[in-house]
Amino acid sequence: MTDEKQHRLKELQAKYGALPIEKLLEALIKTEFAGKIASFSSFGSWSALLLDIVAKIDNTTPVLFLETGKHFPETLEFVETIKSKIGLKNIIALTPDEKILANADANGTLWQINVNRCCWIRKVEPLDRHLTEVGYDAVITGRRSYQTKEREGMATIELDDQNRFRINPFAFWSKDEIKAEFNKRGLPQHPLYDKGYPSIGCAPCTRMVKPGEDERAGRWAHVADLSTGSDKQKQECGIHLDRKDVAEFAI
């Protein structure tokens, strides 16, 4: 993290950190990082809220979607629904490197034995390759601090380990606030949400949630049952982690 970036981080936090979400994102998309900012989206439940706000500011903002090749068909349909209902014009699907895939996951079953390496191949590597090629200065995420232990300490504006600004406009929003704003705007929900999937990732690594379980309990729920070297359920795919923490899974 350079001194110059640290200084700019403090300036951005002081200037915009307490603004309402629309004003915050408008300033960052149109002024501070014009042409150099993208939004991540998993196109999961509640994703439409961030995308609607971004689209209303500038519907040509790049929206990065990790097309892992392992999504539910419903998620791919939902991308099209969002495109037409919200009017996003620049959704960029990032796909795994074909050579890496052929060498390390030729039959597509790596998720059964090494989820961290599978996530690195299908998510982290394609994302980092694209971010570097384009040279974005900032990315917007829909993460909320209540979601996981790893997300608890996040700030609305922060710097990642690659010296890129990360904007988390919902960092301090509660679940109820997200739902209320989502419903107020009449946004489309992921088709699996009402079927027992409150948090949706790749199909092999997402199961239905049982009554009373945490909303992310269905993510990577198989990991604790496998001989992956860990008996702890995986919580993050890796794209939001420091790269030193996932370096061992790189190929």
In eight-state DSSP terms, residue 233 is: P
Binding mask 144-183 for ligand SF4 (x = CB under 6 A): ----------------------------------------
204 binds ligand SF4 (CB under 6 A): yes
Rule CB under 6 A: choose which of 119, 140, 171, 239 binds ligand SF4.
119
**How far apart are alpha carbons 128 and 103 in whole angstroms?**
19
Please state, in angstroms and rounded to a whole number, the distance separating the CA atoms of residues 168 and 50.
10
What residues between 3 and 42 interact with ligand SF4 by CB under 6 A? none
Buried b / exposed e over 56-70, threshold 16 CB at 10 Å, is eeeeebbbbbbbbeb
Query: Is residue 185 within 8 Å of 52, Cβ to Cβ?
Result: yes
CB atoms within 10 A of CB 213: 13
User: Which of positions 209-238 make contact with ligand SF4 (CB under 6 A)?
Assistant: 237
Binding mask 72-91 for ligand SF4 (x = CB under 6 A): --------------------
CB of 177 to ligand SF4, least distance (A): 27
Q: How far is the CB of 242 from ligand SF4 (least distance, A)?
A: 18
Q: Is 126 a residue that touches ligand SF4 (CB under 6 A)? A: no
Residue 170 DSSP code: T
Please name the residue that has the structure tokens 């690195």.
120
Residue 122 touching ligand SF4 (CB under 6 A)? yes
Q: Does 70 bind ligand SF4 (CB under 6 A)?
A: yes
Asked if 237 is an active-site residue, the reply is: yes
Which spans in the chain are helix H? Answer: 3-16, 21-27, 47-57, 73-86, 98-104, 110-113, 115-119, 125-134, 175-184
In this chain, which of 64, 88, 118, 131 binds ligand SF4, going by CB under 6 A? 118
Residues in contact with ligand SF4 by CB under 6 A are 68, 70, 111, 115, 118-119, 122-123, 201-202, 204-205, 237
Active site positions, annotated: 237
